[in-house]
């Protein structure tokens, strides 16, 4: 991959932080965060994962006690007890130290996660994280756990995330391995989040203009009608800094032999006769621009960029064969940015609204297309020293590195409105603050 497509990472923990056996490894990352691994083949994973990119941290004070059948690892915040075998409820536990109720402060592997009768269906003890999307949700939905809880502990299971190789490309996990991060910060919620960021990387600083008001409406605008709207806003004293143009910017009524018009990269020139001039006008009026893109259907023969895209991938454009979206193909991903998106950016597009709604699966097991799009779109947008920006759904722990998030296509109702401030607040419990 290009150098700008690699995140800075320090994935290998200091040897002094590691306690290791034949098929298990314990890494004391901070005084309240410990990584516990099991490997059927006795090999362990030191590459960055979607969650953990910085495991090389200052080694905290801890002590190890060999009890013969069990090993204990203790810091000022926790005592981990482990029987050195495959993880079981009786064999792996963690007690949070510091005066929290003994009933609530002991975690055991595989235990019942607890009463899910808390507000909005979230466990009443874990304070909640976020969810991939609120698409078609009328009101509340259960949330993934956060790293803060009333119990004093939380578990982040990183076993199924994918990995990054030295060149910045991705790889699946090896089977037969478990990879758990145990947070034991009691009620020091801020410290728990600091540990989360220490391992997973900081939240990028947004471009200042992203903190203003964004205008977005799913509507079949024309260039003339959109400009009139912006001028009306200015006349009424309503300030906007970002113009979000939904999917009708591109052709949506296409020959059925090419499929649906949900995915598109060709301006609808009946609505926008001169796209570059339109985007220049928006810039001159103080707006940055993002276009909606649904990439799942790839590139079909009706697209303006089809010929160049086919040639970039070594295919015959005269054949007219559709080019499938394949985020696990390096050549496709390179052409996806350098051909499809770069030409539109030359017209004046500042960043992209990645509207991926097609599930977490790709041609390689464990590689989530949403993760890939968020990761590489953000790094591509941050090239040449710019502050990167994407607009996309949450893809799991570590997604805070690719701001900003949006909640998806919610149902318009009072129940949805009641849930969304809660949903926004709890997202911070898994670092997803923007």
Claim to verify: residue 237 and residue 149 sit in the same structural domain: no
Q: How many domains does the chain have?
A: 2
Q: Which residues contact 406 (CB under 8 A, 6 or more apart)?
A: 353, 391, 392, 393
Question: Quick one: 123 and 263 in the same domain?
Answer: no
**Cα dihedral sign, 380-384-388-389:** negative
Name the residue among 248, 258, 393 with its Cα closest to residue 320.
Answer: 258
Grade residue 104 by pLDDT with cuts at 50, 70 and 90.
low
Cβ neighbours for 176, distance < 8 A, ≥ 6 positions apart:
39, 40, 41
Average pLDDT over residues 310-322: 97
For position 333, which CATH number holds? 3.20.20.80
pLDDT of the residue at 113: 52
Model pLDDT for residues 199-237, shown as the tens digit of each residue: 999 999 999 999 999 999 999 999 999 999 999 999 999
Do residues 173 and 319 share a domain? no
Specify the residue for token string 């909606």. Answer: 292
Residue 162 and residue 86: Cα distance in Å, rounded?
22
Residue 162 is part of which domain span? 3-200
Q: Tell me: do 188 and 251 sit in the same domain.
A: no
Question: Are residue 181 and residue 324 in the same domain, yes or no?
Answer: no
Q: Which residues of 390-399 are buried (b: 16+ CB within 10 A; e: fewer)?
A: bbbbbbbbbb
Tell me the pLDDT band of 101, cut-offs 50, 70 and 90.
low
pLDDT digits (tens, 9 = 90+) for 243-301: 999 999 999 999 999 999 999 999 999 999 999 999 999 999 999 999 999 999 999 99
Regarding whether 105 and 245 lie in a shared domain, the answer is no
CATH code of the domain covering residue 16: 2.60.40
Instruction: Assess whether 325 and 384 both reside in one domain.
Output: yes
251 and 339 both lie in a single domain? yes
Domain boundary pick from 200, 230, 245: 200
Quote the mean pLDDT of the chain: 94
Distance CA 246, CA 46 (A): 41
For residue 61, what pLDDT is reported?
98
The pLDDT score that the predictor gives to residue 115 is 43
pLDDT at 143 exceeding the cut of 50: yes
In the predicted structure, residue 357 carries a pLDDT above the cut 50: yes
* Same domain (yes/no): 247, 365: yes
Q: Are strands 154-157 and 78-82 parallel, antiparallel or unpaired?
A: unpaired
Domain shared by 256 and 350, yes or no? yes
Q: State whether 239 and 337 are in the same domain.
A: yes
Tokens of 181: 């991060």
The last residue of one of the domains, among 144, 170, 200, is 200
Regarding whether 213 and 196 lie in a shared domain, the answer is no
User: Any idea which of 45-49, 97-101, 289-293 has the lowest mean pLDDT?
Assistant: 97-101
């Amino acid at each position: 991959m290009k150098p700008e497509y690699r995140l800075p990472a320090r994935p290998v923990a200091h040897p002094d932080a590691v306690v290791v056996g034949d098929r298990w490894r314990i890494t004391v990352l901070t005084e309240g965060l410990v990584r516990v691994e099991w490997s059927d083949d006795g090999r362990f994973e030191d590459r960055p994962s979607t969650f953990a990119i910085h495991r090389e941290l200052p080694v905290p004070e801890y002590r190890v006690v060999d009890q013969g059948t069990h090993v204990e690892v203790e810091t000022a915040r926790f005592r981990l007890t482990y029987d050195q075998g495959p993880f079981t409820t009786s064999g792996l536990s963690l007690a949070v130290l510091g005066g929290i109720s003994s009933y609530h402060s002991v975690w055991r592997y595989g235990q019942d996660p607890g009463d899910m009768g808390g507000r909005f269906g979230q466990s009443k003890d874990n304070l909640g994280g976020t969810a991939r999307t609120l698409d078609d949700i009328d009101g509340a939905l259960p949330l993934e756990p956060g790293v803060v809880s009333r119990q004093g502990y939380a578990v982040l299971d990183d076993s199924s995330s994918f990995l990054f190789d030295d060149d910045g490309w991705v790889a699946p996990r090896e089977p037969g391995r478990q990879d758990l991060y145990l947070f034991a910060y009691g009620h020091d919620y801020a410290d728990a989040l600091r540990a989360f960021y220490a391992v997973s990387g900081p939240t990028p600083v947004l471009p200042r203009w992203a903190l203003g008001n964004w205008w977005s409406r799913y509507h079949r605008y024309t260039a003339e009608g959109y400009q009139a709207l912006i001028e009306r806003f200015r006349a009424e004293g309503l300030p906007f800094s970002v113009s979000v143009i939904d999917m009708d910017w591109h052709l949506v009524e296409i020959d059925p032999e090419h499929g649906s018009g949900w995915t598109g990269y060709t301006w609808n020139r009946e609505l926008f006769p001169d796209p570059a001039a339109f985007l220049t006008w928006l810039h001159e009026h103080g707006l940055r621009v993002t276009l909606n893109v649904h990439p799942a259907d790839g590139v079909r023969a009706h697209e303006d960029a089809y010929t160049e895209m086919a040639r970039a991938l070594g295919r015959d454009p005269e054949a007219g064969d559709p080019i499938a979206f394949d985020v696990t193909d390096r050549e496709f991903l390179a052409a996806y940015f350098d051909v499809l998106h770069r030409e539109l950016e030359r017209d004046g597009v500042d960043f992209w609204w990645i509207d991926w709604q097609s599930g977490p699966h790709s041609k390689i097991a464990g590689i989530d297309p949403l993760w890939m799009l968020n990761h590489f779109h953000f790094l591509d947008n941050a090239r040449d020293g710019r502050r990167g920006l994407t607009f996309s759904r949450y893809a799991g722990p570590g997604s805070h590195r690719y701001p900003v998030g949006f909640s998806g296509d919610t149902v318009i109702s009072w129940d949805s409105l009641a849930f969304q401030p809660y949903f926004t607040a709890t997202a911070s419990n898994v670092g997803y603050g923007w």
